[in-house]
Amino acid sequence: MKWQKYLLTMIQERNEKKIALAIDTSTNEINQELVQNIMKLFKEICPNTILVQADFKIRHVSSINEADITYYTHGKSSYTDVLEWAEKEEIDSIFYVTDVTGYFYENLTIQSEVFWLVPDEFVPKVPFGKAIRIA
């Protein structure tokens, strides 16, 4: 339960900022109930959150309140499009639910705060930002 309280605090501290929640939809082997609960938390605490569904490309961008997640089974994931989108949209903080096994362009410049929400027991080293194990 420790990560839930930590995540709640982080969302509350950023409530007045522009926030995005990105969901890696490249696999359906993720704990979908966990993802739904995280989305519910964002809806309740920060209803202006933008939801981004992506795998190797951005599939859908919507309000967190209009979300219906579609998962795929190909396992290919790239973070580049989402991170570039966040820069273009001037997102202050992006929370990315992923196993961090995707790729991104190495020369990518990120101004947004990035929090990798890893729904797994193993948390790989993240390229930048902060990893938070949510399993």
Please give the residue that has the higher pLDDT: either 7 or 68. 7
pLDDT score, position 6: 93
For residues 113 and 32, what is the distance between their CA atoms, to the nearest angstrom? 25
Q: For 64-98, how does the pLDDT look when each residue is reduced to its tens digit (9 = 90+)?
A: 998 789 998 887 889 999 999 999 999 999 999 99
Q: Are 36 and 119 in contact (CB under 8 A)?
A: no
3-class DSSP state for residue 2?
A: helix
pLDDT bucket at 20, cuts 50 / 70 / 90: very high
pLDDT score, position 127: 83
3-class DSSP state for residue 20?
A: strand
Residue type present at position 71:
Y
Residue type present at position 5:
K
Please give the residue that has the higher pLDDT: either 107 or 1. 107
Asked whether the predicted pLDDT for residue 24 surpasses 90, the reply is yes
In our burial notation (b when 16+ CB lie closer than 10 A, e otherwise), range 75-85 reads eebbbbbbbbb
pLDDT score, position 125: 85
Place of tokens 């820069």: 87
